Amino acid sequence: MGKTMIEKIIEARIGREVHFEEIVIIPVDLIYAHDWSGPLTIARFREMGFTTVAHPERVAFFLDHSSPSSSREIATMHNLVRSFAREHGCLLFDVGEGVSHVLVAEHLARPGEVIIGADSHTCMGGAFGAFAIGMGATDVAVALALGQTWIKVPHVIAVEVCGKLPHGVFAKDLILNVIRRIGADGAEYKCLEFIGEGVESLPMEERLVLTNMAVEAGAKCGIIPADEETRRYLERRGRGEAFRPLCSDPDAPYDAVIKIEADAMEPLVALPHRVDNVRPVSECQGVPIDQVYIGSCTNGRFEDLKIAAEILRGRRIAPTTRLIVTPGSREVYQRALQAGILEVLIEAGGVVNSPGCGACPGSHVGILGDGERCLSSTNRNFQGRMGNPKAFVYLASPATCAASALEGKITDPRKYL
């Protein structure tokens, strides 16, 4: 019997064979927290009597959730995180650098690593062929001190994507399709492994969308084989030496295999207030939208802003709709600036925020009014998620978001592409 890539990663890190559902203590290669989770992580670290961070060069703190600060309380939380990071020699990505997961992808994640972060979307790092898991502050605090955590070896559900995504259909539509199929708890405690031609043909930037939203199906992690595309991405990023190929064996014991026919797919939308409440865009066309949001760890990369600009170039958004754009990182911001993308978005009537989580977690810079509808390129449409429990959040690809901003209602992007 072959092995899944998750088993291979765990076995390589602990030096012995493991079996599914076994609990193991495992070394952690990269640990991170942010401005909302970092203060509690730091408090826990101290309460446990720890004084030393095991591997500070592989510990990162990000000020991204309320960034720049939204209140005096948040500003004080920022200072707590800053001083701890400096005191212990950890990496610090301050206000304006961007979203933790986006920066981890740009600068830190490597194939075969065990990555834990005090944020549920830490699972995005699995796109590199890493075992990346979201945890709470206390777990992360222990890892800071010990360089270890405990995990249960997860069963693996393979998502096999046959064929290639058609024009105008994106990784966001693909992952919404998976979540529709298995439900918001369909992969609870398990790993979602994305394989097949429809995944192999995707650039890293799109693969990240799949692993990012694995948690929205309840998964412990999402993972994608490390292949030539992974190698090219890492080389472009100056860490090509970290590449090594990694995939599951052909006879790996998957818990289940979910087949998706990519060729037949169309753009999808997740309706309020559940991520698995997914419909084809054709069934929700015409729903009026008050605010369109393009950003987040899921879809705040350069390619996301670029596709939005392609749709919006030379046009103007509907007078009844606001468009808010938040680049996922400083680099995304600069590249989009240099490529003239931000100018297109601004001329179309958009507002560009500084890099960070922006409106997604409901802190500030784009909170919705009572009864308003927002179409968002983010990952969660839970009631209250974007700051107002009386508002309604719909999720879609950046292309669908941009097309809908133009018409002021949910719109199929393919007519503009």
Partner 1 sequence: MLLKGRAWTFGDGISTDLIIPGRYAYLRGDLSALAKHTLEDVRPEFAAQVQPGDLLIAGRNFGLGSSREHAVLVLKQLGVSAVIAASIARIFFRNCINLGLPAIEVETAGIEDGDEIEVDLQACVLVDRTKGLRRSFSPFPTIIRMILYEGGLVPYMRKYKKFLETEGVSAHE
Which residues make up the interface to partner 1 (CB under 8 A)?
19, 21-25, 36-37, 39-40, 44, 47-50, 65-66, 70-71, 73-74, 76-77, 118-120, 122, 134-139, 142, 145-146, 148, 150, 152, 184-185, 188-189, 215, 218, 220, 274, 361-363, 367, 380, 382-385, 387-389
Q: Which residue lies nearer to partner 1 by CB, 67 or 377? A: 67
Least Å distance between CB 362 and partner 1? 4
Report d(CA 148, CA 303) in Å as an integer. Answer: 35
Count the neighbouring beta carbons within 10 Å of the beta carbon of residue 70.
14
Q: Which residue lies nearer to partner 1 by CB, 71 or 282? A: 71
Q: Can you tell me which residue has the tokens 């994608």?
A: 224
Q: Which residue lies nearer to partner 1 by CB, 155 or 409? A: 155
Sign of CA dihedral 13, 16, 20, 24: negative
Measured between alpha carbons, how far is residue 112 from residues 12, 26, 143, 159 in Å? Answer: 8, 13, 18, 20
Q: Can you tell me which residue has the tokens 């995944």?
A: 199
87 Cβ contact list (under 8 Å, min separation 6): none
**Which run of H or of E encompasses 285?**
none
Q: Which residue lies nearer to partner 1 by CB, 22 or 283? A: 22
Least Å distance between CB 384 and partner 1? 5
CA dihedral 365, 366, 370, 376 (to 10 degrees): -150
Nearest to 316, CA basis, from 221, 228, 187, 408 = 408
Measured between alpha carbons, how far is residue 15 from residues 192, 243, 373 in Å? Answer: 24, 20, 51
Degrees, nearest 5: CA angle 76-81-82: 95
Least Å distance between CB 400 and partner 1? 22
At 268 the three-state DSSP class reads strand
DSSP 299-310: H-SHHHHHHHHH
Q: Which residue lies nearer to partner 1 by CB, 122 or 230? A: 122
Least Å distance between CB 91 and partner 1? 20
Least Å distance between CB 383 and partner 1? 6
Least Å distance between CB 81 and partner 1? 12
Report d(CA 320, CA 163) in Å as an integer. Answer: 39
Contact 28, 116 (CB under 8 A): yes
Q: For the purposes of burial, counting CB atoms within 10 Å of the CB of 303, is it exposed (0-12), middle (13-18) or buried (19 or more)?
A: middle
Least Å distance between CB 216 and partner 1? 8
Q: Which residue lies nearer to partner 1 by CB, 154 or 168? A: 154
Q: Which residue lies nearer to partner 1 by CB, 213 or 284? A: 213
Least Å distance between CB 21 and partner 1? 6
Least Å distance between CB 95 and partner 1? 15
Report d(CA 95, CA 354) in Å as an integer. Answer: 9
* β strands within 2-101, DSSP E: 23-27, 30-34, 59-62, 91-93
Least Å distance between CB 143 and partner 1? 11
Question: Residue type for 210, please?
Answer: L
Q: Which residue lies nearer to partner 1 by CB, 220 or 330? A: 220
Q: Which residue lies nearer to partner 1 by CB, 199 or 391? A: 391
Q: Which residue lies nearer to partner 1 by CB, 268 or 386? A: 386
